[in-house]
């Protein structure tokens, strides 16, 4: 619980009164500590990502000596790959099939990863609506993976992931990362990409690899233009 209301407002690029309104409506994950509202940074970014909200780049700032280059969404998807026609009748069957197909670092325990992914879904669905879910471990560091990956999976048939909009899930983006900082960054970038109409369209239509990466490159160019303007 390391963020104040002011910090949360700055990271989410909204007014402090908006944060207070969300707290009153019990929309945003907040805690009461010594009479003041506090936020967990990873929970806040996950919450914003699930609602496809933008997150300020400063959310990933670290001291210069500790900072390492953040992974790009394109490179991470290249590393994780795309799975077509992932079969399963239930959420847990789908997650088991997903884990068995993931490109994992040597030494990662698939059985443990499956338990972690299921536990995360039991805590709160990772569905972001419109048939898309983003299964990921709550604490990525415990997996001891060495490479950040994003794996895109198209399901053979719709499966219930207990989405808030009530729609069954047909598409998964699984995020696996060696550090919390990289993990949160990828979740944020993925949330941004899913707001792009053209990228969403190729995902909804389960297009081939070339079209998916072409659309993602266009998203990246758009993000670079925004960053250049802000800079």
Please state, for a pLDDT cut of 70, what percent of the chain lies above it.
Answer: 86
The whole-chain average pLDDT of the chain stands at: 85
Counted domains in the chain? 2
pLDDT category at 142 given cuts 50, 70, 90 is: low
101 inside domain: yes
At 153-177, the pLDDT tens digits run: 999 999 999 998 999 999 999 999 8
Average pLDDT for 139-161: 88
Does residue 112 sit in the same domain as residue 34? no
Does residue 116 sit in the same domain as residue 94? yes
pLDDT category at 61 given cuts 50, 70, 90 is: low
65 inside domain: no
Question: Please, what sign has the CA dihedral across residues 19, 61, 55, 98?
Answer: negative
Does residue 49 sit in the same domain as residue 79? no
Does residue 140 sit in the same domain as residue 208? yes
Does residue 78 sit in the same domain as residue 55? no
Could you list the residue range(s) of the whole structural domain that residue 31 is in? 5-60
Average pLDDT for 18-44: 83
CA 24, 26, 29, 31: dihedral to nearest 10 degrees?
50
38 inside domain: yes
**Is residue 145 pLDDT above 50, yes or no?**
yes
Does residue 187 sit in the same domain as residue 116? yes
pLDDT category at 63 given cuts 50, 70, 90 is: very low
Give me the CATH number covering residue 166.
3.40.930.10
Last residue of a domain, one of 38, 60, 82: 60
Helix axes 180-193 and 41-50, enclosed angle (nearest 10): 20
């Amino acid at each position: 619980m390391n963020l104040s209301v002011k910090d949360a407002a700055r990271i989410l690029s909204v007014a402090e009164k908006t944060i207070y309104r969300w707290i009153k409506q019990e929309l945003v994950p907040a805690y009461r500590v010594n009479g003041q509202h506090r936020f967990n940074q990873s929970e806040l970014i996950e919450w914003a990502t699930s609602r496809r909200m933008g997150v300020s780049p400063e959310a990933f700032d670290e001291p210069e000596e500790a900072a390492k280059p953040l992974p790009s969404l394109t490179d991470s998807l290249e590393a994780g790959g795309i799975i077509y026609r992932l079969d399963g009748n239930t959420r847990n069957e789908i997650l088991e099939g997903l884990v068995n197909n993931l490109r994992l670092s040597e030494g990662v325990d698939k059985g443990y990863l499956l338990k972690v992914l299921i536990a995360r879904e039991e805590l709160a669905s990772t569905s972001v609506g419109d048939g898309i879910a983003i299964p990921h471990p709550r604490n990525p560091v415990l997996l001891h993976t060495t490479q950040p990956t994003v794996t895109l999976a198209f399901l053979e048939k719709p499966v219930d992931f207990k989405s808030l909009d009530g729609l069954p899930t047909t598409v998964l983006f699984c995020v696996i990362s060696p550090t919390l900082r990289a993990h949160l960054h990828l979740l944020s970038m993925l949330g941004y990409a899913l707001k792009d109409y053209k990228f969403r369209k190729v995902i909804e239509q389960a297009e081939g690899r070339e079209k998916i990466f072409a659309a993602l490159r266009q998203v990246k160019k758009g993000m670079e233009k925004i960053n250049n303007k802000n800079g």
